[in-house]
Amino acid sequence: MQHIYHHTFANGFTLLAERMDHVRSAAFYFLVPAGCIHDPPEYRGIASVLSDLMMRGAGPRDNRELSTALDNLGVDHSESVGGLHMRFWGATLARNLSRALDLHADVLRRPRLPEEEVEAVKALALQDLLGLEDEPAQRLFIELRERHYPPPLGQDSRGTEEGIEALNLKALRSHYRRLIRPRGTILSVAGNINWEALRDQVDRLFGDWESGEEPVIRPGTAPGAGKYGHVQKETTQTQIGLAYESVPFGHPDYYNALGAVNVLDGGMSARLFTEVREKHGLCYSISASYQTYKDRASILCYAGTTNDRAQRTLELTLRELTRLKDGIEPDEIERVRVGLKSSLIKQEESTTARAGTLASDWYYLGRVRSFDEIQSALNALTPESIVAHLQRHTPGNFTIVTLGPESLQMPGERPA
């Protein structure tokens, strides 16, 4: 039996918790609506720099003292920035959870944002950005998302070299004051916890935080930079990225969409791996994944291959995507169902995974799904239900980006 708890404070700060009696640890996950879609054009990358700087001293502790305090509690922690949210999470022994939350309350509410650390944080951000030259697949996906999504949804959290170099302490502090607010922020906790004690502590730590307004971004309806693109790079390999629309998390067809992408990519017997890589030996890597926002979602596909096989790889990948609606075998659905249920069971045993899922469910659905609900939805998947979904939402209108020495012939184009 699941023990799920919820409380939203008057300032809009939401606390979620799941008691897991069989573990001795606890994990926490802060989801703050301060993602990179809020980065101003002149400061692209500011959210990532700010999240790092916030961890470099908070409350009464400087950078070293904060790091030592977390280490002394055995807190495995990190921070990151996505399109929609800034995220801070950690895991530790259940008995140390209270003190770990005390420290992170300082990080969120009283970060020092030390001026002497700004240049070092900027230097690390620039190194991360420059490292993309050695990560062609990552660079490809940045271009793919920018072309596929309407701005600012396609922005990458790493920002731009110009944006990071332009950053200063005044801009960072202004960004913090504008975006790091309780309204819309979610704290989820999973593990061996006492709900009443946790709620009282979070009330003490965050209940008097001045609410402010939750920042709102309304993406345009226009697409990104264009449907087809090529990134010129002299390499012996060609990277291929494709994106097409799907249904968002929470849509009645969501589980069928998830089933469809797992037919394409769910192990060595998945469609893309079998048909494009194994049967034809065209690429060394191929994959498909699902990405969602509240009001839209996409399937993102990737293939890495040699230059001489790139055109054929693109053509066969497109063929597999478009013919999926023509039929799916029962054994494919059974493989998908087993894989998704296995992931669900492993998630049940991980406090970190559960904390992340609690926050994600609440953000997208305004509730937390039970294991029984998910199991029931997975059991209901059939070849017919997924095919019907694909016929209603047929893969097409592809955004395609390539990276390599030569561009490829795109669908509908005449051969050169």
Residue 116: count other Cβ atoms within 10 Å of its Cβ: 11
Q: Express each pLDDT in 321-343 by its tens digit.
A: 999 999 999 999 999 999 999 99
Task: Provide the pLDDT for residue 223.
Answer: 52
* Range name among 193-197, 304-308, 314-318, 344-348 with the lowest pLDDT average: 344-348
Across residues 130-142, what is the average pLDDT? Answer: 95
Task: Provide the pLDDT for residue 306.
Answer: 97
Task: Provide the pLDDT for residue 219.
Answer: 63
Q: Cα separation of 106 and 32, whole Å?
A: 15
Question: Cβ neighbours of residue 315 under 8 Å, at least 6 residues apart?
Answer: none
Task: Provide the pLDDT for residue 411.
Answer: 87
Query: With contact defined as beta carbons under 8 Å apart, do 249 and 365 qualify?
Result: yes
Task: Provide the pLDDT for residue 416.
Answer: 53
Question: Cβ neighbours of residue 404 under 8 Å, at least 6 residues apart?
Answer: 230, 231, 233, 235, 237, 238, 239, 307, 310
φ and ψ at residue 199, rounded to 5 degrees = -60, -40
Query: With contact defined as beta carbons under 8 Å apart, do 291 and 148 qualify?
Result: no
* Residue 400 clears pLDDT 90, i.e. is over it: yes
Amino acid identity, residue 162?
A: E
Query: With contact defined as beta carbons under 8 Å apart, do 24 and 33 qualify?
Result: no
- At residue 222 the predicted structure's pLDDT band, cuts being 50, 70 and 90, is low
Across residues 200-217, what is the average pLDDT? Answer: 87
What is the secondary structure of 49-73 as a DSSP string? HHHHHHTSEETTEEHHHHHHHHHHT
Residue 283: closest CA among 273, 271, 270, 269:
273
- At residue 414 the predicted structure's pLDDT band, cuts being 50, 70 and 90, is low
* Alpha carbon of residue 301 to chain centroid: 16
Q: Cα separation of 253 and 300, whole Å?
A: 18
Q: Using the structure block, give the residue that is written with the tokens 């849509």.
A: 251
Residue 249: closest CA among 292, 219, 290:
292
Query: With contact defined as beta carbons under 8 Å apart, do 291 and 249 qualify?
Result: no
Q: Express each pLDDT in 230-284 by its tens digit.
A: 999 999 999 999 999 999 999 999 999 999 999 999 888 899 999 999 999 999 9
Task: Provide the pLDDT for residue 348.
Answer: 84
* Residue 224 clears pLDDT 80, i.e. is over it: no
* Range name among 61-70, 138-147, 209-218, 260-269 with the lowest pLDDT average: 209-218
Q: Cα separation of 354 and 369, whole Å?
A: 11
Q: Express each pLDDT in 38-93 by its tens digit.
A: 999 999 999 999 999 999 999 999 999 999 999 999 999 999 999 999 999 999 99
* Residue 226 clears pLDDT 80, i.e. is over it: no
Task: Provide the pLDDT for residue 415.
Answer: 59
Residue 114: count other Cβ atoms within 10 Å of its Cβ: 15
Report CA-CA distances (Å) from 335 to 276, 373, 377, 383: 19, 20, 15, 12
